[in-house]
Homo-oligomer: A and B are copies of this chain.
Amino acid sequence: MNRVAIVGAGHSKFGKRKDVNVAELAFESIKQAVTDAGIERKEIKNVVVGSAGGWYEEALPAVIVNEYAGLRSVGTMRVEAACASGSAAVKAAHDSVATGESDVALAVGVEKMTEVDTMTSVELIGRAGSYMWEFENYGMTFPAYYALYAVSYMNRFNTTEEDMARVAVKAHHYGSLNPNAQFQKEITVEKVLSSQVVAWPLKLYDACPLTDGSAAVVLANEEVAKRLTDTPVWIKGIGYSSDSANLSKRDDYVGLRASVEAGRRAYQAAKVTPREVDVATCHDCFTIAEIMAYEDLGFCEKGEGAKLVREGQTEIGGRIPVNLDGGLKAKGHPIGATGVSMMVEITKQLRGEGGSRQAPIRNGIGLVHNVGGTGHYAYVTILSRGA
C-alpha cells in the first residue's frame, strides 16, 4: 500500500452564496487546491465529490463539477455519508492513491443549501435521521435529536446551558479570525443564553447554520508528494463506523458510539494516542456535540468535556485546541464540504500556516472528526506532518 499525502488544499468562502452555482462554488476551492499543489490538472486521475445533494438542482454533481473545473474525462464518483460525506470522499480518494491506481487524486466537498428556504432545509436534514420512525411518526428534526442528547448529558453530568454556550463563544471567537467563516463576529455567553430556544436546552446560538461552500484537497503518493512539496501532510490513519439510524436503539445518549469506534480504528491505524494530537476539528453541529466529541475521542474522560471548555483547554494554549477555524458553528456547515474543509484546516495548521489562529505543533499530529446524521456515521482521520 502506498502512503498518501495531502499536497494541496483549497477552501471557498462559506456563507450564503447566491453569486455562484454549485459547479462555480466547487471550482473556487478546486482552483486553490490545484494551485497550492503546484500540479497540472492533467495529473489528476480520480475525482471524488462529497455531496449529500437534494438542496440544489443538479442530480449528478460529480460530472458537473468536474466539467466546469476542466477535469472532463477524469474518472469520478460522488460519495455520501450525510454530514460526513466530505471525510468519506477523502477516504475514497485516499484509497485510490493507496492502491496505486491513481498517482494523484482530488477530493472535493460541496453543498449549496440556501437554494431552498430554511424550513425545507430543516425537513431535508430531518429526513436524514430515521425517516420512517422518527421523522414521519414523531416529527423529529436535528435540533430535537441533539436536544435529547443535551438533556441526557446535562442530567448525568450536571453540565449547564452556560457550559454549552461557552463552546459557541469559542467557535465565534475563532470564526472572527477566519476570513472564510460564515460568521465573523464574537458573541458572549449571555447572547447565546438569550437567543431563541430551538429545542430546549438548545438555542439558536447552540446550532450551526445552513451554509453554501466547498473545500478541496489534492492527494498524492509518496513519489509525487516529495517532488511537489517540502511540507506534505500524510494521511496516517482513517477510522470509520456507523450506528443504528433509530435513536431509540442507541446504547446511551451521552456520546456517539460511532465516534468512539471510528476514533479507536483511526488511532490504531495511525499508531497514535489521543495525547499526541496537537490540534483537532470536531463535529460541532450543536454545542453539545463538541463536548461529547472530546470524550468520545479520548481527549478527556467521559463527563469531563464541559470542564475542558471551562478551563480553556480546547483553545490555543490549552491542552488540545479544537476548531480553530470556527467549527461548524461559526465557519458554517455545508454538509458535503465540511469533512474536506476540516482536512484543509488541519493541513494548514500542521504546515504552520494558521496565522493568528495557529496552534502550537509539538508532535506534528492533527485529527479530523466528522459525524454523519446523529451518529449514523462517524469518520476520524489522523494527519501527520512527520513521516
Residue in B63, B239, B243 whose CB lies within 8 Å of A72: B243
Inter-chain CA distance A85–B150, complex, in Å, is 38
B81→A246 contact, CB < 8 A? no
Chain B residues lying within 8 Å of A241, measured Cβ to Cβ, are 73-75
Residue in B59, B100, B131 whose CB lies within 8 Å of A59: B131
A60→B78 contact, CB < 8 A? no
Q: How large is the interface on A (under 10, 10 to 19, 20 to 34, 35 or more residues)?
A: 35 or more
Inter-chain CA distance A243–B124, complex, in Å, is 30
Interface-forming stretch among A203-211, A321-329, A349-357, A370-378? A370-378
Residues in A24-78 with C-beta less than 8 Å from chain B: 52, 54, 57-60, 62-64, 66-67, 72-78
A251 to chain B, nearest CB (A): 10
Chain B residues lying within 8 Å of A64, measured Cβ to Cβ, are 130, 245
Inter-chain CA distance A66–B373, complex, in Å, is 15
Q: Say yes or no: is A11 at the interface (Cβ < 8 Å to chain B).
A: no
Copy number in this complex? Answer: 2
Q: Which residue of B lies closest to A373 (CB)?
A: B60
Chain B residues lying within 8 Å of A169, measured Cβ to Cβ, are none
Residues in A136-160 with C-beta less than 8 Å from chain B: 136
Q: Which residue of B lies closest to A71 (CB)?
A: B242
Interface-forming stretch among A90-98, A175-183, A290-298? A90-98
Q: Say yes or no: is A127 at the interface (Cβ < 8 Å to chain B).
A: yes
Q: Say yes or no: is A80 at the interface (Cβ < 8 Å to chain B).
A: yes
Chain B residues lying within 8 Å of A261, measured Cβ to Cβ, are 73
B75→A62 contact, CB < 8 A? no
30 contacts across the A-B interface (CB closer than 8 A): A1-B100, A58-B132, A59-B127, A59-B128, A60-B80, A60-B376, A60-B377, A62-B242, A63-B243, A63-B376, A63-B377, A66-B242, A67-B244, A67-B246, A72-B242, A72-B243, A72-B244, A73-B243, A74-B241, A74-B242, A75-B241, A75-B262, A75-B265, A77-B80, A77-B85, A77-B91, A77-B240, A79-B92, A95-B99, A95-B101
